[in-house]
Amino acid sequence: MIPKEIPLRNDKLFRLAMCHRSSTDDPVPDSYERLEFFGDSVLGLVIAQYLYEHHLTWDQGMLSKAKSSVVQEGPLAETALRLGLDAYIELSPSEESTGGRTRPSILADVFEAVIGAVYLESGMEVARWFVLEQLHDYLMLVSGGDVSPNDHKSKLQEVAQATWRKTPQYRITKESGVAHERLFSVQVLVGDVAIGEGTGRSKKEAEQAAAHDALELIERNRAG
């Protein structure tokens, strides 16, 4: 049964949007990957148009930062969880056992695949409404002026420079996963001291996660 918040009636399309490549014999026609690729483009266009039309004084740099903040993995994965999509994802037993159902990269992918499915069934206007409805809170956050609310690396650099007069350094501690689903683990150091760790499906995402972890540690120490 398709969640009621999703304007989609085609069960076959919805099942395709939920099908991870690990659960198929032929991932090209039978997994969500092609649909996710398409939905990613629809998502990017909808958010870019919204920002272009609603922020007439923002230059290209501001628009680009705001768009990147909204369409990145974190907000998309959180939206997929809120919609309950994790309960519908089809995974292989091995992928299931390693936490694939709650992995942010997979959750973000299935949300984008759903966007693609909505577009294919009902066209751009319905897809636009769905995207803007589901990502409204994130759009309001960047519209308030903080166009990079998830740029933890820049924030950590400011804190580290002000506190220790040092620039944080990032190092990869582990790479795992197959080629299409790499997972990177990263530590962030100030001097020789590791102050945060994070993982992500790209080096950039892992570094942002490590910086976020470090900022939380610094905040806890200040509060204590």
Per-residue pLDDT of the chain (224 residues; tens, 9 = 90+): 899 999 999 999 999 999 999 999 999 999 999 999 999 999 999 999 999 999 999 999 889 889 988 998 889 999 999 999 999 999 999 989 988 898 888 999 999 999 999 999 999 999 999 999 999 999 998 888 777 767 788 889 889 999 999 999 999 999 987 766 788 999 999 999 999 999 887 888 889 889 999 999 999 988 87
d(CA 220, CA 216): 6
**40, 73, 207, 213: the active-site residue:** 40
Is 109 noted as a catalytic residue in this protein?
no
In a shared domain, residues 107 and 169: no
Residue 3, domain member (yes or no): no
DSSP state of 86: G
Per-residue pLDDT at 204: 83
3-state helix, strand and coil shares in percent for the chain, rounded to the nearest 5: 65, 10, 25
List the domain range (segments joined by +) for residue 82: 11-143
In a shared domain, residues 97 and 119: yes
Is 40 noted as a catalytic residue in this protein?
yes
Q: CA 199 → CA 8, 103, 105, 210, distances in Å?
A: 33, 11, 11, 7
- Token representation of residue 64: 């680009």
**36, 90, 95, 112: the active-site residue:** 112
What's the CATH number where 43 sits?
A: 1.10.1520.10
Per-residue pLDDT at 30: 97
Residue 1, domain member (yes or no): no
In a shared domain, residues 15 and 114: yes
d(CA 210, CA 197): 4
Per-residue pLDDT at 183: 85
Domain boundary among 113, 143, 173: 143
Per-residue pLDDT at 89: 97
Predicted TM-score (pTM) of this structure = 0.76
Residue with tokens 């990017």: 44
